[in-house]
Structure 1
Amino acid sequence: MSIPLLREQVIEALDRSSSIPLKDKISILQTFASTLKEPVTIEQSREILSIAPLGLFYYGFSMEDENLTNVLCEIISKILGPFNYRDINSNENKSFLLEGLTHYNPQIRLLSIQQVNSETFMHVITTLSFQDTKPAQKASELLYKITLTHQDAIFSPTACSIIKQLLRVSETVKFRIYDLVIKVASSSNHAFELCESTGLLHEFINELRSNDLLVKMNAIELLNEIAATPSGIIFLERANLVDDMSAILDNEDEDDVVVCLVKCSIIKFIGNLGENKQVPFQQLSNQYGILNRLETCLDSKNDQILTVTISSIGLIGSHLLGLILVWPLSSKLCELYPSTVGSVKAVLLQTLSKLIGVRDEPVNESDRLTLQIFNEFDGFPNKIIREAKQPEDDIRIASLALMQSIAYHTWGIKYMAQSSVFMQYLLDRTTDRIQQGQMWKYTIIQTIVSHPNSKEILEVDDYNQCQTYIKQGPFYKPLETTVAFESIKAIHQFLNKIKYQTEIKHSSRYLSQYGVLQKRSLAGTGASATVKVIQDHRRNIYAVKVFHKNINKDKLLKKKLMSEYCISSVLNHPNIINTVDLVIDNKHRYCIVMEYCSGGDLYSWIKEGKLVHLKDINNLFKQLLQGLSYLHNLGVAHRDIKPENLLIQPTNRRHYQLKITDFGEADVFRELWQAEGRLSDGVCGSIPYMAPEVFSQMSYNASQADVWSAAIVYSCMRLNGVPFFCAKETDPNFRLYQAQYTKRRYPAFDILDKDSQDMLYDMLNPNPEKRFTIQDVLKLTWVANV
C-alpha cells in the first residue's frame, strides 16, 4: 500500500463521522505506525501534520479503547519527536498537552510527560536547589505528582545524576531532596525498589549513620513515612537501621541536649512504627528489645524523654495488637501518675485514654485488658473529676478524653451509672465555661447514650437528662430566671414611662413632633411592624417603623423592640442607619424614628437590574463589610443581613452610600469590657441567607453567621440570585456545594473572576471556625483597593 493512500485511510479512520469498524481503524493505524521509522525527521512530521492535524489523532482518545489509545500514543509520540518543547507548547498543541497531563489514562499521561522533554523536566529538578523555599517546594510537589503516575521519570540516569549533584549543594537542599525521595519511595513497593536501585536511599542511609547527631535526628524524622510500607520495613532491617537506632536508646548521657533530641526522635519513630497495624511490631520488638528499652526510658529523669516515651506507648497501644504488647507497661504508667505534673501529666492521661479507648475485635479481649488498666489507674471518679477541673487546658482536655474512652465500654458505663458524683459532674453545665470543654462533655454524653446498653444500665432520670442534654446541644445556657424577669420588668417600666409622658402631654414623646405621616408612604412591612415616611415642617424626611398595637400584650415582642432600639440608637457609623428616637403615635403604637434613605433597598436594585457595573457592586459590598466590621468590633451581630435590610442613599451622581438597617434580630455577643464573646442561640434571619450552623439548634458564633449572610448578598449582586435556597442537606444545590467545596468547583461560581470566587469560598466555608472573619475579607488586596 502506498504511503499517500495509507495517510488517506488514516484520515478517514479518524474522521468523527467515519463508519469504519473500530477493529479496522486500529489495524489501519497500526500499519501507519509501523511506517514511521524512528527517528522521524521534522520534515516528515510537518508533512503529516499538514494533511492530518494533531487534533484528529487526539480525538481518537475519546473512543476509550485501550488498543486504539496505545497505537495513537505511539503515532503522536513519533510525530512530535523531532519538535522542541517550545513548538510542543505552542498555542496549537498546548490544550492537548494540558489535557494529556491531567488525563486519567496512564498511557496518555505518559505521552504528554514525554512531550514535556528533558529540557523542561530537568529545569524542574534543578529548582529543588533554589534558595527561596516557595519555588523549591512547588517543584518538589510537581515532581512527586509526576512520579505517582510515571515513576520512571525521576529515575532516569540523567535525572538521578542531577539529583545526586544537588545533594552536594547544601544541607537544606540535601534534606529537601531526601524528603522527596522518601515520599516517592513510600508511595508503592515498585517505587521503593526504583529508589533503592538508584542508590538514593543508600545516600540517605549514610545520613542516618552520621556522627553529626543533628543530621541523624533530621534523617530519623523522615523515616516515619518510609517505615509505613512493607518494602520500607524490609529495607530498614536489611540496612540494620532498627538495631542501630535501638542501641542509641541505651545512651545514658541525657544531659547532652543533642543526645536527648536524637533519643526523642527515635522514640517518636518507634511510636509511629507501633501505631501502624501493617508493621510487624511484635517481631521487631522481640528482635531488638524495643519495649524493654522503652521501659527503661520510663525511668528517665529528663521530662522531654519521659514525655515522648509515654506518648509513644500510647501510640503503640492504640490498637489491640499493640495493647497486648504494652499492657505490662501500664502498671508502671499508673505508678508514675501521682508524681507527674504539667505537660507530663497531660500526656500520661492522653496515653491512658488511648489504651483504655481500644475496642477492636475480639471485644471480650479488648474489654478484659482495658478494664484491668482502668482498675490499676484507680482514679475514678474523684481523681479524674479533679483533673478535669484543673485550670491547665492540656490536663483538663486529656481528662475529658479519658472519660470518653471509659464510656466506650459496657463496663465503663456501669461504673459511671454507679457513681452519682460522676453523673452529677457530667450533667452540670456550669462546671466548664470553655467552649472546647463544653464540646467534650457533650461528646462524652453522646458516646454514653449511643451505647446499645445505656438505657438498661443508667438510672431512668440520668438517661432522660442525657437525652435532654443532647437535644439542647453542647453550648446551651439555662435561662437565669431572676435576670430575665428583671430585664423584662425594666423594659416594661421604660415603655410605660414613654406612655405616661405622652398621657401628660409631653410633646417630646409624640410622633407628631416629627411631622405628619405621608399618605401612601408605605416603605416596607414585616411581621411585627410597618415602615412609613414622615416629613416635618422643615421638610426633613424620616423613616418611621410603626410597631403593631398588639405588641403591648406580648412581653417578648416588647423585649425585642427595646433591644432593637437600645442597640441601634447607640450606633454611629456611615454605613449604619441612624436611629433618632422611640416615640408613640396618636394610636398609641410604639414607633422608632430613623433617617430616611431615598434610594430604596438593595433587593429592589438587584430585582430591577440597576447593578450593572462591577465597580458599583464591589463598592457597595465593601461598605457592607465596613458596617459589619464596626458592629463586630462593638460586640454586636446583626443576624438578619439580606438585601431587604440594606438601604441605599444616593450622595451625588454615580455615588451611593449603603446603610445597614433593622436590628430586630441583633445580639450583643460581647460586652465592651469582655475579651471573649459568648455564643448565640435561636434560629433567626431569612432562610436563603442563614448560615448552616444557625439551623443546627445549637449555639453558634453570630458574627461568623453574619459573614456567611454577607457572602450570599454579594452572590446575589453578582449572579442576580442566591447560589442555593437553603444551607441545609435537604437543598440539592447546597449538597452539591458541599460536595464541590474542597475542589472549589461549584458551577454557580464558575462565571466569576478568580478573586471573587476565592473570597466567596472562604466566606462560605461550612465550618464557621475556618470561615473568614469580616476583618479577613477586608484585608484581601482587591477588597482593600476598592
Structure 2
Amino acid sequence: MSSPTSETDGLINALLQSNTKSPEEITEVLGVLSIALDGPQGAQVTQAVLSAVPLPNFFTFLESSSESVINAAGIVLEKLLRAVTYVDIVSSELKDYFRLGLSSPLPKICLLTLGQIEKCLTNEEYTIDLINSPLYDSVIEVIGNEDIPTATRAADFVVKIAENPNGLQAIFDTRRIAHLNELSERNDTLKFRVIDLLSRIANISDEAFHLCESSGALYSIVTIFHSKDILLRLNAVESFIQVAETPTGYMFLKRTRIIESLIDMLALDESDVVNVLLKCGAIKFFGRVEAVEFEELAQTHELLKKLAQLLESDNLEVKITTVIVLGNIGSTQRGLVLLDASNTLQNFLNVYHASSGEVKLACLRSLSCFFDVSSSPQITTTVLSLYASLSPTPLPTFLSLSSSALSEVRFAIFSIFVALSKHSFARHDFFRSTYSRGFLDFILNRTTEKSKEGKEWKFSVVEALWKNQEESDEGWDWEGGARVRDRLLKYIREGPFHVHTEAAVALESG
C-alpha cells in the first residue's frame, strides 16, 4: 500500500506533466487531488502541492476547452487558496491570473476569484494596493456580469471598498467614473445596476454623497425617474428609497422636487396597471422615510390623509402596500404617536375588521409592528387601546388564528405574541386571565408545529414571554406565577427542537 507522501508525489508529478495528458486524465488527477485535500493529511498535501506546483499552473487549467477540466480546477483552486493570503497574491504572478478568473464565463470561477481578492479588506495597505491595481478595474467590470449573484457580489465588494477613504476617492476619479458610465450605457439592466451601486455608496457618508452628486450620478437617476420607461422609473424610485435614508439624501430629493413628484403619484388613476405599479412604489418610498421627515410631510402635504384614503382603495395591491407601509411607519414611537393622533390607526382598524385573505395577513403583520414599539406611558395607552379595539376578547381571537392551516398566518400571530410580551397588560392576559391556561397549553405544546421555522417561532414566543416577565417590576409574584415561570424555563432549556419521548415498556408472555 502506498504512503500518503508517495501518493502526493504521484499527483504532483502528474500535474507537472499535465501538458502531455488528455482532458479526461487531467480531470481525473484534479479529482483525486481534491479528495486528498479534504483528507486527514489535507494540510500537508496543500503545503506539498503549493511548494512544488506553481499556482499559475492551476489557473491555466481555466483556459481549457474542456468544461470538466475547468470545473475540477475551480474546486481544487478553492481548496488550495484557503492557505493563500493577499500578500501571496500581490507578491506573485497571480494578479494576472486573477484577472483571468474574473473574466471567466463560469460564475463559480468568477466568484472564487472575487472571494480571494476580498482578502485585501483585512488590511489597509492591501486595500490601497488593490485600489491602485488594474485588478480593481476588472472587479468593476464584473458588475456587468450576466450572472446576477456574481454581479451582486462584485457590487457589494465595491461598496466595501468605498467605505475606505482612499477607495471612495478612487471610485470617483475620472477614469473609474468613465468606466462605470460606459458600463451603464451598455443596456438598461446595467444602467440600473450602476445607479443602484452609486446610490448605496452615497449613503456611506456626507462626503460620499457629495461625490456622487458632483459626479452627476444622482442627477441621472432624476432624469431616469422622468423617463417613459416604466421599469427604469420603478428602479429609480427604489434608488430614491436608498438615497432618502440619510438627511443629506432626503434634502437632495426635496431640492430636486422628487418628493413632490412622489406625492403626486399617490393620486394616480388605478385603472392603469402602470399607474398602480408607480403608485405602490411611491407608497413604499414614504414607508421608508425617517420619522422626522415623515412628520414634516404629514404637515406640509397631508401625507397621512392621503394614505388613509388609499386604505379604501379597490385595488388589492394598493391596499396591501398601504397597510404594510403603515406598519413600517408605526414601528417607531414617533410614528405610532403620529398615526394615532391623525386618526389613521382608526382607519387601519376599519380595514382590519372588514378584511380577509391577503389583506388580513398584511394587517396582522402591521399589528406586530405597532405592538413591538417600546413601552412608554403614551405608547402603552395607545397600544392598549389598539389591542382592546381588535375584539372584545383579543387573545382567544389570536389563538384561533394561530391554528390556521396557513403558516404565514400562524407566524404572523407568533410575531404578535412576541411583540405583545413587552407590555404588562398583555402579559396579564397571557398568564393570569380566564384564557391564560388555554394560551400556555397551546404555546408550550410542541406538537402543533412541524416545520423548523414554526418551531423557532414558538421558541421565540416562549423566550420573549419569560424574558419580559422576568425583567418586569412584578416578576412572577402572583399565585401560580412560579409554576408558569418553571414551565417556560423548562421549554427554553430544552431548546426549540426538543421531542418528548414516552418510555417503552416491553411485555413478555409467559
Structure with greater proportional strand content: 1
* Letter aligned with residue 412 of structure 1: A
Structure with greater proportional helix content: 2
Residue 295 of structure 1 is aligned with which of 308, 327, 332? 308
Bigger CA radius of gyration: 1
Distance 1:114 1:350, change over 3 A: closer
1:573-592 Cα distance to aligned partner (Å, 9 max, x none): xxxxxxxxxxxxxxxxxxxx
On the 8 A contact 2:328/2:369 being kept in 1, the answer is: yes
CA distance in structure 1 between the aligned counterparts of 2:144 and 2:260, rounded to whole angstroms:
33
Residue 388 of structure 1 is aligned with which of 391, 398, 402? 402
TM value normalised by structure 1: 0.46
CA distance in structure 2 between the aligned counterparts of 1:281 and 1:175, rounded to whole angstroms:
27
What secondary structure does 1:152 align onto? helix
Give the alignment of 1:574-593 within 5 angstroms. Answer: none
2:416 aligned with 1:399? no
1:364 deviates by 1.2
CA distance in structure 1 between the aligned counterparts of 2:118 and 2:426, rounded to whole angstroms:
57
2:260 aligned with 1:243? yes
Distance 1:123 1:437, change over 3 A: closer
CA distance in structure 2 between the aligned counterparts of 1:305 and 1:467, rounded to whole angstroms:
46
Residue 311 of structure 1 is aligned with which of 319, 324, 336? 324
Q: Hey, what does 2:354 align to over in structure 1? A: 339
Q: Hey, what does 1:24 align to over in structure 2? A: none
* Letter aligned with residue 471 of structure 1: K
1:262-301 Cα distance to aligned partner (Å, 9 max, x none): 222221221122xx45x53211332232212111110011
Distance 1:101 1:403, change over 3 A: closer
2:486 aligned with 1:470? no
Distance 1:389 1:124, change over 3 A: closer
Q: Hey, what does 2:450 align to over in structure 1? A: 434
Q: Hey, what does 1:678 align to over in structure 2? A: none
CA distance in structure 2 between the aligned counterparts of 1:410 and 1:268, rounded to whole angstroms:
33
If asked which structure has higher relative contact order (CA below 8 Å, sep 6+), I would say 2
CA distance in structure 2 between the aligned counterparts of 1:359 and 1:479, rounded to whole angstroms:
40
1:477 deviates by 5.6
Q: Hey, what does 1:461 align to over in structure 2? A: 480
Unaligned runs of 5+ in 2: 1-88, 96-116
Q: Hey, what does 1:175 align to over in structure 2? A: 192
Residue 275 of structure 2 is aligned with which of 246, 252, 259? 259
1:554-609 Cα distance to aligned partner (Å, 9 max, x none): xxxxxxxxxxxxxxxxxxxxxxxxxxxxxxxxxxxxxxxxxxxxxxxxxxxxxxxx
CA distance in structure 2 between the aligned counterparts of 1:426 and 1:439, rounded to whole angstroms:
17
Q: Hey, what does 1:375 align to over in structure 2? A: 388
Distance 1:419 1:137, change over 3 A: closer
On the 8 A contact 1:317/1:354 being kept in 2, the answer is: yes
CA distance in structure 1 between the aligned counterparts of 2:94 and 2:361, rounded to whole angstroms:
60
On the 8 A contact 1:249/1:263 being kept in 2, the answer is: yes
* Letter aligned with residue 155 of structure 2: S
1:724-779 Cα distance to aligned partner (Å, 9 max, x none): xxxxxxxxxxxxxxxxxxxxxxxxxxxxxxxxxxxxxxxxxxxxxxxxxxxxxxxx
What secondary structure does 2:186 align onto? coil
* Letter aligned with residue 350 of structure 1: R
Q: Hey, what does 2:64 align to over in structure 1? A: none
Q: Which moved more, 1:175-184 or 1:327-336?
A: 327-336
Distance 1:459 1:90, change over 3 A: closer
RMSD of the TM alignment (CA)?
3.1
* Letter aligned with residue 323 of structure 1: L
CA distance in structure 1 between the aligned counterparts of 2:254 and 2:457, rounded to whole angstroms:
42
Give the alignment of 1:336-735 within 5 angstroms. Answer: 336-360=351-375, 363-378=376-391, 379-428=393-442, 429-430=444-445, 432-435=448-451, 436-450=453-467, 451=469, 452-453=471-472, 459-461=478-480, 463-472=482-491, 473=494, 474=496, 484=503, 487-488=504-505, 491-493=506-508
Unaligned runs of 5+ in 1: 1-87, 498-786
Distance 1:460 1:190, change over 3 A: same
Distance 1:370 1:99, change over 3 A: closer
On the 8 A contact 1:448/1:454 being kept in 2, the answer is: no
CA distance in structure 1 between the aligned counterparts of 2:194 and 2:132, rounded to whole angstroms:
25
Give the alignment of 1:86-105 within 5 angstroms. Answer: 91=92, 101-102=120-121, 104-105=123-124
Q: Hey, what does 2:336 align to over in structure 1? A: 323
On the 8 A contact 2:162/2:171 being kept in 1, the answer is: yes
2:182 aligned with 1:165? yes
CA distance in structure 2 between the aligned counterparts of 1:338 and 1:299, rounded to whole angstroms:
13
**Number of corresponding residues:** 389
On the 8 A contact 1:178/1:204 being kept in 2, the answer is: yes
* Letter aligned with residue 460 of structure 1: E
2:201 aligned with 1:184? yes
1:111 deviates by 5.2
Distance 1:342 1:458, change over 3 A: farther
Q: Percent identity?
A: 25
On the 8 A contact 2:337/2:379 being kept in 1, the answer is: no
On the 8 A contact 1:427/1:469 being kept in 2, the answer is: no
What secondary structure does 2:435 align onto? helix
CA distance in structure 1 between the aligned counterparts of 2:208 and 2:230, rounded to whole angstroms:
29
Q: Hey, what does 2:9 align to over in structure 1? A: none
Distance 1:394 1:171, change over 3 A: same
Residue 210 of structure 2 is aligned with which of 186, 193, 211? 193
On the 8 A contact 2:118/2:157 being kept in 1, the answer is: no
1:125 deviates by 3.5
Residue 270 of structure 1 is aligned with which of 286, 291, 308? 286
What secondary structure does 1:420 align onto? coil
1:335-368 Cα distance to aligned partner (Å, 9 max, x none): 22232112211110111121122115xx212212
CA distance in structure 2 between the aligned counterparts of 1:420 and 1:477, rounded to whole angstroms:
29
CA distance in structure 2 between the aligned counterparts of 1:268 and 1:412, rounded to whole angstroms:
31
Distance 1:138 1:408, change over 3 A: closer
TM value normalised by structure 2: 0.69
Distance 1:199 1:388, change over 3 A: same
What secondary structure does 1:318 align onto? coil
What secondary structure does 1:169 align onto? coil
